[in-house]
Amino acid sequence: MISPKLVLFALTLSLLAAAAPAPLADDLEPTRIHLRKRVSLTRSDGTFDYDEAIRQNVKTANKIRRNIINVQRNTGQLPSGVIKIPAIATLPSRLLVKRQKVPLTDLEDDSEWAGNITVGTPPRTFFIDFDTGSSDLWIPSSSCNTCQGAGKALYDASKSSTSALKDGTFEIEYGDGSSTSGPIYTDTVTVGGVKATQQYFSAVTSESPEFVGDPADGILGLALPAISNLGQDPFFVTAFKQKHAAQNEFAFKLNTTGSELHIGGTNRALYKGSLEYNNLSSNIGYWQIGNANALVNGKSAASGFQTIIDSGTTIMYGPPDAAKKVYAAVKGSQVYDADNGFYSFPCATPPILAFTWGGKSWDISPDNFNLGETQSGSGRCVGALVGKDFGLGDDVWVLGDSFMKNVYTVFSFDKKAVGFAALE
Ligand SMILES: *[C@@H]1O[C@H](CO)[C@@H](O)[C@H](O)[C@H]1NC(C)=O
Ligand SMILES: *[C@@H]1O[C@H](CO)[C@@H](O)[C@H](O)[C@H]1NC(C)=O
Ligand SMILES: *[C@@H]1O[C@H](CO)[C@@H](O)[C@H](O)[C@H]1NC(C)=O
């Protein structure tokens, strides 16, 4: 069970409070960003894309590792429950080689939940993955050699009249064991109609094949300041402080079609009933809510855990023991890949996995739980809950798009809470 370090929790809350002046303006409308679909772990023939799933595991592990380092640097302590900084996660070399050979045209269909932002004056468009599991904005630099020719938009500070170079460097670790760093700038950033001036971000000067092959140019982090690598306010916090966002919250609908990020409010047309808000329990800068329970076909299979709601993660991860308990409640389930935490179940009888935080029980549809058949005709399908120890402690789960696709999700700085509602 988590025992939050109250000092850090108070720090997080004070950061939140500092970011909440009374919003201005009747003329400020919430703004919508159209999103494209995230990379799929199911191939077009309905089978499970094992290699892509391994890449996602490694990417998520390294993002979480970097967040842990950032918290330690920003607060002087490791997040509660974290014993040590995890090692860099690496891909098997065969996957790195394969990725390099994938022609870019093949990636058109499996774009991420990404949308356009602009950076600089005059504005330059970047296609960005919106990530509620990190807190920094980074885009490729015009001096990034590995980014050239990969169809990426590049940031050239000399071509923006509002650009300013800042001290320090930004770092990202990759699955090939390498890392990159980039200089830090401030510039004007707009997401939909919402603008932040003098927004901190990094322009990275190299990328490993796993990011070069990614259809998005970069990432915009939407989590709280405590996990910022730059040690600065993330985009939305800046925009709200500058009174450029109508309300101090943003919301996602993720689906095959009609996905959107609503900045500075919620879109009433996209959900029905009321929003169920769950107070943040995090002491580490995540959109983290506690007192969670997992149910399989209506029966509790795990309870009293913490959940990080992360739009930048494709599937769902629980600690290995907890995932084991959940699958023990799934009739006919088997371990599919013990090393990587994958389980399979009979495709004909998918379980209904649901999460509850003390209120309503939020079901994951069989389609969203199913990552595809282990091989064509096997009759066994891989589940979207994976047992993986990311070093966050033994009661922290990460719920990504496989969960978020089933609900309307509101991330509220105002209420210091994550809200869920049924999709319209
Ligand atoms: C992003 O902008 C480009 C043009 O710069 C456009 O072709 C594309 O459709 C836009 N994507 C989204 C998801 O809005
Ligand atoms: C999600 O997308 C699918 C496929 O386009 C569509 O059939 C379904 O109605 C959508 N659901 C919602 C809630 O928008
Ligand atoms: C959530 O936090 C608010 C204050 O922000 C408090 O009034 C409320 O009682 C909390 N709810 C729960 C269930 O703890």
Structure confidence at residue 37 (pLDDT): 63
User: Relative to the CA of 116, which ligand 1 atom is closest?
Assistant: 1
Question: What's the confidence (pLDDT) of residue 25?
Answer: 39
Q: Which ligand is nearest to the CA of 358?
A: 3
Q: Is the pLDDT of residue 36 over 90?
A: no
416 lines ligand 3 (CB under 6 A): yes
37 within ligand 1 shell (Cβ under 6 A): no
DSSP string, 283-294: SSSS-EEEEEEE
For 236-276, the pLDDT digits (tens) are: 999 999 999 989 999 999 887 778 899 999 999 999 999 99
**Alpha carbon distances (Å) from 18 to 13, 35, 222, 284, 414:** 8, 30, 16, 16, 11
Averaged pLDDT, 321-348: 98
Closest of 386, 374, 394, 371 to residue 340, by C-alpha: 386
- How many angstroms does the Cα of residue 68 sit away from the middle of ligand 3? 27
Ligand nearest to C-alpha 269: 2
Give the mutation target among 36, 40, 113, 257 for probing the ligand 2 site: most ligand atoms within 8 A of CB: 257
The answer, yes or no, to whether residue 160 has pLDDT greater than 50, is: yes
pLDDT at 109 over 90: no
Q: Check residue 30 and give its pLDDT.
A: 60
User: Looking at residues 330-349, what average pLDDT do you find?
Assistant: 97
What's the whole-number mean pLDDT along residues 367-378? 96
pTM listed for this prediction: 0.90
For residue 287, the model assigns a pLDDT of 97
Nearest to 404 by CA among 13, 35, 16, 32: 35
Which pLDDT score is estimated for 29? 57
pLDDT the model gives residue 113: 65
Strands (E) located in 26-79? 31-34
Query: pLDDT tens digit string along 212-225?
Result: 667 788 899 999 99
Residue 146: is its pLDDT beyond 50? yes
Name the average pLDDT for the chain: 86
In this structure, are strands 137-140 and 194-204 parallel, antiparallel, or unpaired?
Answer: parallel
In the chain, what are the domains? 36-263 (2.40.70.10), 268-423 (2.40.70.10)
* Distance from residue 395's CA to the centre of ligand 3 (Å): 22
Band of residue 112 on the pLDDT scale cut at 50, 70, 90: low
Give CA–CA dist 309/276, Å, rounded.
14
Ligand 3 atom nearest to CA at 279: 1
Best mutation site among 248, 277, 279, 418 for ligand 3 pocket (most ligand atoms within 8 Å of CB)? 279
Query: In this structure, are residues 21 and 96 in contact, taking their beta carbons and an 8 Å threshold?
Result: no
